[in-house]
Amino acid sequence: MAGAAPGIGGRRRRLRDDGLQTCTSVEQSKVEDIVQEVYDAYKTNHHSSQYVLQREKHFHYLKRGLRQLTEAYECLDASRPWLCYWILHSLELLDEPIPDSVASDVCQFLKRCQSPQGGFGGGPGQHPHLAPTYAAVNALCIIGTEEAFGVIDRKKLLEYLYSLKQPDGSFLMHVGGEVDVRSAYCAASVASLTNILTPALFAGTAEWIARCQNWEGGIGGVPGMEAHGGYTFCGVAALVILKQEHLLNLRSLLRWVTGRQMRFEGGFQGRCNKLVDGCYSFWQAGLLPLLHRALHARGDPALSMAHWMFDQLALQEYILLCCQCPAGGLLDKPGKSRDFYHTCYCLSGLAIAQHFGSGDLHNEVVLGIPENCLQATHPVYNIAPEKVARAVMHFLQYPVPSLDPAPAAQ
DSSP result, 30-95: HHHHHHHHHHHHHHHH-TT------HHHHHHHHHHHHH---GGGGGGGGGHHHHHHHHHHHHHHTT
180 assigned to active site: no
Catalytic residue among 162, 277, 325, 333: 277
Catalytic residue among 228, 260, 378, 387: 228
Catalytic residue among 61, 134, 185, 280: 280
274 assigned to active site: yes
Residue type, 124: P
Which residues, listed in sequence order, are joined to residue 213 by a DSSP beta bridge? 219
Catalytic residue among 165, 271, 355, 378: 271
Catalytic residue among 165, 182, 342, 378: 342
C-alpha to C-alpha distance for 83 and 98, rounded to whole angstroms: 15
Catalytic residue among 84, 113, 212, 279: 279
The Cβ of residue 408 has, within 10 Å, a number of other Cβ atoms equal to: 15
DSSP result, 212-258: TB-TTSSB-SSTTSPP-HHHHHHHHHHHHHTT-GGGS-HHHHHHHHH
307 assigned to active site: no
100 assigned to active site: no
Identify the CA nearest to 3 among candidates 319, 373, 312, 367: 367
Residue type, 189: S
Phi first, then psi, for residue 365 (nearest 5°) are -125, 95
C-alpha to C-alpha distance for 179 and 171, rounded to whole angstroms: 6
Phi first, then psi, for residue 356 (nearest 5°) are -105, 130
Catalytic residue among 61, 339, 346, 378: 339
Instruction: Give yes or no for a contact between 200 and 165, defined as CB atoms under 8 angstroms apart.
Output: no
Q: At what angle do helices 55-67 and 100-113 cross, to 10 degrees?
A: 50
C-alpha to C-alpha distance for 176 and 119, rounded to whole angstroms: 15
277 assigned to active site: yes
Give every CB contact of residue 48 below 8 A, 6+ residues apart in sequence: none
Catalytic residue among 64, 263, 274, 336: 274
Residues tagged active-site: 228, 271, 274, 277, 279-280, 332, 339, 342
